[in-house]
Amino acid sequence: MLLSGTVVADADTVIPDGAVVVEGDIIVAVGDRSTCRDQYPGHEHHACDVLVPGTVGGHVHSVQSLGRGIADDTELLEWLSEYVLPMEASLSADGMRAAAELGYLELIESGTTTCIDHLSVAHAEEAFEAAREFGIRGRLGKVLMDKDSPAGLLEETDAALEESERLVRRYHGVDDGRIRYAVTPRFAVSCTEACLRGARELADAYEGVMIHTHASENRGEIEAVEDETGKRNIHWLDEVGLTGEDVVLAHCVWTDEGEREVLAETGTNVTYCPSSNMKLASGIAPVLDYLDRGINVALGNDGPPCNNTLDPFTEMRQASLLQKVDHLDSEALPAKTVFEMATVNGAQAAGFDRVGKLREGWKADIVGLETDITRATPLHDVLSHLAFAAHGDDVQFSMVDGEVLMQDGEVLVADADAIRSRAREFAAEMDVTA
């Protein structure tokens, strides 16, 4: 397929009248449109206004999608214990499937082609199967909770790790490596030391398996960890093996100098979730400091009950604006930097090579947006538009591994009406006050 339009190959490379040529799952050429058409005359042609690398959601909870709007105006620990954990505990396998499908539908419709997805304790295979069916690229994991957790979610340590290993064997690397596994403790508060150390052992036992957890999102959380372990949260996670290049820590809002040194020295990935951090009043992650230290920072929407949208373009805008006002510095986190966070940095965090840029020899994960719309007029600077004005609704085309997931604004890999209808049915039955 030959895709033509203004090609944003990466944050530094914009080709105004460009093209991307795809063969199989790989990009074979990126360049001037007429040159590409001459070189690849037999390819099916599809025109978009703007072509960009598919965005990477560096931290999401697809299975929380039925909880959009159930827990506004609460802070993290109450939000979890009163609303989100009871919701997760109450979902049947079919409900979990409906939630995951709604989440992936929203991600695909709004321009995300890869996600790091923190699932729930039970029925994780429903999300794996939905991700496979829809063709999204994903690093997914069943959640581990073996202490201080509500009935319905609390598991025995060994049983939780054994179930994780079963899922690793079943799903890690399937579909030509498009689906990969992350061992996923909920957070240090709800996991024993044995569970956290077991997560590291499991990740080490299988090549390419990573670890994904929440860390230092909220002050109450880090106080709870410090009361129990005598250590700051990142130091505790480091002690039990949950730092390193194969670890993605969501949030890292409340970290001190020593903890930041650990994150940098170990090459740990951090996912910045500005909307979630603002809405739950968690705080402002020290992202500029992380970037200065060379820490890889991805961007994440977190889940529908704390955001309440999975739109990556809105998240780029929030990411930049929050840092600008925090530092009272209008130059903080410019468009190029947030675009990199939402694309190539996210792919690096998720452990996918040759993803996150439109490059010859890289994976054909491509999104097309329309810009013949009022919000995009005039289009002086396409990077500025993507970071500050674009919206997920502008996405018209999506491709992962060379497979077209959405074209002309229509999702081809799923029945969107049926997914929304099932989601409404299960949401109506859901017990959110258990």
Residues that bind Zn ion (CB under 5 A): 302
Question: Least separation, in Å, of the C-beta of 297 and Zn ion?
Answer: 16
Q: Is the CB of 46 or the CB of 68 nearer to Zn ion?
A: 68
**Beta partners for residue 369, in sequence order:** 50, 395
Q: How far is the CB of 214 from Zn ion (least distance, A)?
A: 5
Contacts of 67 (CB under 8 A, 6+ apart): 83, 84, 87, 303, 304, 305, 430, 432
How far from 130 is each of 92, 97, 213, 268, 418, CA to CA, in Å?
A: 15, 7, 22, 29, 14
Nearer to Zn ion, 248 or 263 (CB): 248
DSSP string over 14-32: EEEEEEEEEETTEEEEEEE
Compare residues 342 and 367 and give the one whose CB is closer to Zn ion: 342
Please report, as a single letter, which amino acid is at residue 283.
Answer: G
Least distance to Zn ion, CB of residue 385, Å:
28
Q: CA 315, 316, 320, 325: dihedral to nearest 10 degrees?
A: -20
Bridge pairing between strands 403-407 and 297-299: unpaired
The closest residue (CB) to Zn ion is: 302
One-letter identity of residue 23: E
Query: For Zn ion, which is the closer residue by CB, 260 or 279?
Result: 279
101/302 with CB nearer Zn ion:
302
265: number of Cβ within 10 Å: 12
Q: How far is the CB of 75 from Zn ion (least distance, A)?
A: 14
Smallest separation (angstroms) from Zn ion to the CB of 79 = 11
The whole-angstrom separation of Cα 203 and Cα 170 is: 15
- Structure tokens that stand for 181 in this block: 């596994």
User: Measured from the CB atom, is 43 or 68 closer to Zn ion?
Assistant: 68
Q: Alpha helices, DSSP H only, in 274-340?
A: 274-279, 287-292, 312-327, 335-340
Tokens standing for 266?
A: 């170990």
| Nearer to Zn ion (CB atom), residue 165 or residue 302 | 302
Find the shortest distance in angstroms from Cβ 300 to Zn ion: 8
As measured in angstroms, the least distance from the Cβ of 44 to Zn ion is 39
Q: Locate 148 and state its tokens.
A: 């201080």
Strands 403-407 and 410-411, bridge-based pairing: antiparallel
Nearest distance in Å: CB 303, Zn ion: 6
Q: Which is nearer to Zn ion, 146 or 302 (CB)?
A: 302
